[in-house]
Amino acid sequence: MQASSRDSSREKSRWLKGLVGDEKRWIRLSIAAGLFAGLMLILQAHLLARAVDATLFHQAQLPDLWPWLVVILLALIVRVLAGMLREWCGQRASVGVRARLRAELLQRLAALGPAYTRQQRSGELSSVLIEQVEALDGFIARYLPQMALSVMLPLVILVFVLPINWAAALIFLITAPLIPVFMALVGTRAAEANRRNFKALAQLSAYFLDVVQGLATLKLFSQSQAQRQIIARNAEEFRLRTMQVLRLAFLSSAVLEFFASVSIAVLAVYLGFSFLGLLDFGSWGGQITLYHALFLLILAPEFYLPLRELGTHYHAKQEATAAAERILDLLNEAERLEAGGSVPMGKGLPGLALDQVSFSYAGQSSAVLQHCSFRVNPGECVALVGPSGAGKSTVLNLLAGFERPAEGQVLIGDQPLSSLSRQDWMQRIAFVSQHTTLFPGSIRDNLLMAKPDASDAALQNACDKAAASEFIQRLPDGLNTQVGEAGNNFSGGQIQRLALARAFLKDAPVLLLDEPTASLDQESEAQVLKALEHLCQGRTTLLLTHRPTTLRLAQRILHLHQGQCIEAAIESPTAQLKEGSE
């Protein structure tokens, strides 16, 4: 079990290091700045020891020391600037990595589609995208540069110490490994505590968002106070877990400081006994001078400082490793569900078909679809009707590639969907849902999601065809009008017409419509239907609906019942709907 845990931790560490990618140049520059600051420190130690030795034993006066003092001051300024450059470069690398990772996660979630995200808790996904990605900051910005500096800087210091006193260099070499050993011992506990802490944070975020979204219902049933107490208990549990992590972090710092202090004390004792004449070894053919002792004592804390800082940032590494666990789970799940073939889509209108498809959701004993088969011919508009819960939306998710059948095949033309390039297929379909989402930004931004490089003329044409220009022109800022949260400054009919405008703008050959006129009044429905009639022309269309008026768009009607598709008579759509409802 422990070996498996170590292998998993190594795998996460390799993945975290691999995230740096193109930002390696900033990490290298941060390391170079740290090394240069270390060299300036050695120069300061040398000049300061020389100045003290010259003052006490060579009767040097202040005018004699001025050149050394100026150089010491300049070295101090350069060290400060190098430290600032080191931190800035680390942060630049961290910002780039986190931005790229968030973009990849959002892209993966978008590719997985609503079928996947509906099964997840929004608060937990938000926690992954925000808090857990943010937790990588310390690892990228500070731990990675410090890991290199903790090896390089002590070696550079040893290069200057060894020619002066081999015994001091030996003390450094013997005591230095104590710090990383105890760092790893304490860090193991910190990693486990961080994993528990992130899990608790994800659960708290998910639960809090669920409560906020259902606050109106809780108020109606007088349960808001009870939920407040539950949130308070969860928050207190999270606070205790956070304090446990901080306790381990402070314990780690205390242990590292203790062993660093003991190591410096050993060197000081050696130098003291050498001055008293009780020890007579270490120097190369001579006695230890005050210059040697001061130079070694000034450098001693700086020799252990990179190791102590590595121990401090080791907590950031364990935090990043814990955060990587959920991020990797999400990426692996996305990769598993996204995996498709490499066969490119052919030109022309494709047909759609389910061939003996069976499907059931996890945790459900009964199958939603059982050996279901049907075909939509190229350029044909087919309506799929049936009672709520019959699996109509599941059929759309299967055709879009958001779900995969347990048995049978989804066919696009004569090719299995699993063999086609997923990216090509996503470009060939337009999906209009009954719950269209508008995002904060302008109307233009929302429409350009369908085709980012569309011109203003194409935007205007799409709005005209979707009958959206009528209300957009009445707005003070037209297409630049800002959309409120979830589109709350637009009516349901206006939102649906904007969704249709997106579909017109994309101009995809395959159209999947999920209750496009649901929850609309008669006037809005008439406008949307007119736009739909235009949109469906020359496209392969599968239409899900309960409304008889929408069925008039269809050339054929399929009835989904008990997991099977049955051809229905188009002459009596109203009767067919009543039969399906029963």
**Residue count (the chain):** 582
> Same domain, yes or no, for 411 and 559?
yes
492 against 188, higher pLDDT? 492
The CA distance from 425 to 122, in Å, is 27
Residue that terminates a domain, selected from 163, 181, 216:
163
- Please choose, from the candidates 456, 167, 133, 142, the residue with its C-alpha nearest in 3D space to the C-alpha of residue 288: 167
Q: What percent of the chain has pLDDT over 70?
A: 87
**Is residue 157 within 8 Å of 202, Cβ to Cβ?**
no
The CA distance from 172 to 204, in Å, is 47
> Same domain, yes or no, for 526 and 444?
yes
Across 92-109, average pLDDT: 87
3 against 247, higher pLDDT? 247
Q: Is 414 exposed, middle or buried (0-12, 13-18, 19+ CB in 10 A)?
A: exposed
Give backbone dihedrals phi and psi of 114, rounded to 5 degrees, phi first: -65, -25
| Strand pairing category for 510-514 and 352-359 | unpaired
Q: What is the DSSP letter of 283?
A: B
Residue 387 region, left (φ>0) first, then alpha (ψ -120 to 50), else beta? Answer: beta
> Same domain, yes or no, for 21 and 130?
yes
Across 517-536, average pLDDT: 77
Q: Sorting pLDDT into bands at 50, 70 and 90, what band is 156?
A: very high
pLDDT at site 7: 56
pLDDT at site 189: 65
Is residue 281 domain-resident?
A: yes
Taking only the tens place, the pLDDT of each residue in 458-497 is 888 888 888 888 888 888 888 888 887 766 778 877 888 8
The CA distance from 49 to 165, in Å, is 15
Query: Average pLDDT, whole number, for the chain?
Result: 81
Across 413-423, average pLDDT: 82
pTM value?
0.67
Q: Sorting pLDDT into bands at 50, 70 and 90, what band is 519?
A: low
Residue that terminates a domain, selected from 109, 134, 163:
163
Task: State the SS3 of 14-47.
Answer: HHHHHCCHHHHHHHHHHHHHHHHHHHHHHHHHHH
Q: Which 3 state secondary structure label does DSSP give 377?
A: coil
Crossing angle, helix 24-57 and helix 144-161, to 10 degrees?
A: 30
The CA distance from 476 to 237, in Å, is 50
∠ CA(214), CA(220), CA(221), 5° rounding? 90
> Same domain, yes or no, for 173 and 153?
no
Weakest-pLDDT range from 154-163, 205-214, 377-386, 507-516:
205-214
Taking only the tens place, the pLDDT of each residue in 313-347 is 777 777 788 778 778 877 776 665 555 566 777 67
338 against 504, higher pLDDT? 504
> Same domain, yes or no, for 155 and 213?
no
The CA distance from 441 to 339, in Å, is 32
> Same domain, yes or no, for 388 and 506?
yes
- Supply the range of the domain harboring residue 501: 352-567
Task: Give the DSSP H or E segment for 483.
Answer: strand 482-483
144 against 116, higher pLDDT? 144
CA dihedral 489→491→493→498, nearest 10 degrees, is 0
Is residue 359 domain-resident?
A: yes
Q: Which residues pair with 358 in a beta bridge?
A: 407
> Same domain, yes or no, for 137 and 183?
no
The CA distance from 370 to 82, in Å, is 68
Is residue 376 domain-resident?
A: yes
pLDDT for residue 2 is more than 50: no
445's tokens: 């931004």
Task: Evaluate the CA torsion angle 93, 96, 99, 102 in order and state its sign.
Answer: negative
The CA distance from 363 to 211, in Å, is 24
> Same domain, yes or no, for 19 and 92?
yes
pLDDT at site 37: 93
pLDDT for residue 169 is more than 60: yes
> Same domain, yes or no, for 153 and 192?
no
The CA distance from 164 to 574, in Å, is 99
> Same domain, yes or no, for 208 and 255?
yes
pLDDT for residue 554 is more than 90: no
> Same domain, yes or no, for 129 and 192?
no
pLDDT at site 26: 93
Across 159-175, average pLDDT: 88
Across 18-39, average pLDDT: 90
CATH number at 368 reads 3.40.50.300
pLDDT at site 91: 92
pLDDT for residue 507 is more than 90: no
CATH number at 134 reads 1.20.1560.10
pLDDT at site 469: 85
> Same domain, yes or no, for 222 and 104?
no
Domain count across the chain: 3
Residue at token pair 């979204």: 213
Residue that terminates a domain, selected from 129, 163, 197:
163
256's tokens: 């590292």
Q: What share of the chain is helix, strand, coil (3-state, %, to 5)?
A: 65, 10, 20
pLDDT for residue 581 is more than 80: no
Q: Which residues pair with 359 in a beta bridge?
A: 369
Taking only the tens place, the pLDDT of each residue in 278-322 is 887 877 767 788 888 888 888 888 888 888 788 777 777 777 887
Is residue 138 domain-resident?
A: yes
